[in-house]
């Protein structure tokens, strides 16, 4: 008997009125604990697919299944992190992270404080736990959003270009942090990006999309090429550069063919 897939897109299509975002049935299985990047041009449908996984949109046809059951409205199992910062300015870093557990009734208040402290440390903000958001950088505020989502108990992180508004150095720092968190916490992650280098550095697996309507152009096993451990030295390696360049060439060739 085949095991039940962890997260599955089963013959999913999506239309907004007459606009087809996902026209042909979309099928994809994501195992538990895998970091998957959705890579493709702006407007191709990758964010819509992520939003459907989170329950913010519903498929026109087909189903998205979590451990065999159709997903419903947003819940604690699926946490979302967007490009815009989402911290409460009147709460400290620690209080912002605690807020993510406000409606949990399955753990004691003391356990909530312990979890908050753990995830504040995990994202490297222990010394800023009592600081307010206007006293920390944009990159740190994005770490707060990630810590709050993790502390809430989310099994799946759905991340829509969360580092897109950051400068290059902050973006690189948070990419390293996210990869470290993934190695320690083993969350299942869908990370939406149009940045090839970001996808190659972060993901275990890259799903490359065509322009809208969304079709899978390639399903790439990054770990098989670069291994599971990633750091800044990985990014500077000849192997990383060669792999990134091969994906860029694939995208350019496909774009030239579609434009012809």
C-alpha dihedral sign at 210, 28, 193, 69 = positive
Say if residues 54 and 74 touch (Cβ distance below 8 Å).
Answer: yes
C-alpha dihedral sign at 249, 37, 84, 14 = positive
- From the first residue on, what is the mean pLDDT of each consecutive set of 10 residues in the chain (260 residues)? 88 90 92 95 89 94 96 90 79 93 87 92 90 88 85 89 80 85 88 94 95 89 93 92 93 71
Say if residues 198 and 168 touch (Cβ distance below 8 Å).
Answer: no
Q: How far is CA 44 from CA 37, 212, 240, in A?
A: 14, 4, 26
């Amino acid at each position: 008997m085949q095991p039940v897939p962890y997260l599955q897109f089963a013959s999913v299509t999506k239309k907004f009125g007459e606009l087809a975002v996902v026209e042909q049935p979309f099928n994809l299985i994501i195992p538990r604990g895998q970091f998957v990047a959705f890579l493709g041009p702006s407007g191709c449908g990758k964010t819509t697919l992520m939003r459907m996984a989170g329950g913010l949109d519903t498929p026109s046809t087909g189903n998205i299944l979590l451990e065999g059951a159709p997903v419903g409205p947003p819940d604690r199992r699926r946490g979302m992190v967007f490009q815009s910062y989402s911290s409460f300015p009147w709460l400290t870093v620690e209080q912002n992270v605690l807020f993510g557990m406000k409606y949990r009734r399955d753990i004691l208040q003391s356990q909530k404080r312990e979890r908050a402290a753990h995830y504040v440390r995990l994202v490297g903000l222990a010394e800023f736990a009592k600081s307010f958001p206007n006293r920390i950088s944009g990159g740190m505020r994005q770490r707060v959003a990630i810590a709050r989502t993790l502390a809430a108990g989310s099994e799946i992180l759905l991340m829509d270009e969360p580092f897109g508004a950051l400068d290059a150095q902050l973006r690189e720092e948070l990419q390293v942090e996210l990869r470290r968190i993934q190695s320690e916490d083993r969350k299942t992650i869908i990370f939406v990006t149009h940045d090839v280098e970001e996808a190659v550095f972060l993901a275990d697996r890259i799903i490359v999309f065509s322009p809208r309507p969304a079709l899978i152009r390639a399903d790439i096993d990054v770990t098989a090429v670069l291994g599971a451990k990633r750091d800044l030295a990985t990014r500077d390696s000849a192997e990383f550069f060669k792999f990134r360049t091969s994906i860029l060439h694939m995208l350019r060739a496909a774009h030239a063919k579609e434009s012809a």
